[in-house]
Structure 1
Amino acid sequence: MATDDQRDLLGDSSFSDELLEHLDEIPDEIRKKWPRDLAALLDIFQAALQRMGFEADKSRQIAHNLMNEQATYCGGRHVYIPKGDRLKQAIRDVELYNDWHDRGILPDELAGRYKISTVHVYRIIKEQRGLRMKKVQPDLF
Structure 2
Amino acid sequence: MSGQGEMFDALTCDPLDLIERGGEVIADKSRWPQRLVDLYDVLFAYARKTGADAETAARDASARAVLIADYLGGAVVYLPRGDAMRKAVRDSEAYRRHDGRNTNVLAREYGMTTTKFYELLARERKRRLRKMQGRLFQ
- TM score, norm. by length of structure 2: 0.68
Instruction: Determine if the alignment matches structure 1 residue 96 to structure 2 residue 94.
Output: yes
Counterpart in 2 of 1:61?
59
Query: Shift of residue 56 of structure 1?
Result: 0.7
Distance 1:115 1:21, change over 3 A: same
Q: Secondary structure at the match of 2:16?
A: helix
Counterpart mapping for 1:78-93 below 5 A: 78-93=76-91
More strand by share: 2
- Once superposed, what is the RMSD of the aligned Cα atoms? 3.0
Structure number with the higher helix fraction is 1
- Partners of 1:92 and 1:71 lie apart in 2 by 25
User: Which residue identity is paired with 1:51?
Assistant: K
Q: Among residues 97, 103, 110, which one is paired with 2:106 in the alignment?
A: 110
Tell me the CA shift for residue 127 of structure 1: 0.8
Give the aligned residue type for 2:17. Answer: E
Runs of 5+ unmatched residues, structure 1: 1-12
Higher relative contact order (CA 8 A, sep 6+): 2
Where does structure 1 differ by over 6 angstroms across 4 or more consecutive aligned residues?
A: none
Summarize the alignment of residues 47-58 of structure 1 with structure 2, pairs less than 5 Å apart: 47-58=45-56
What whole-Å deviation, never above 9, does each CA across 1:86-129 have from its counterpart, x for those lacking one?
A: 332122112222333x26212x4332221123332121110111
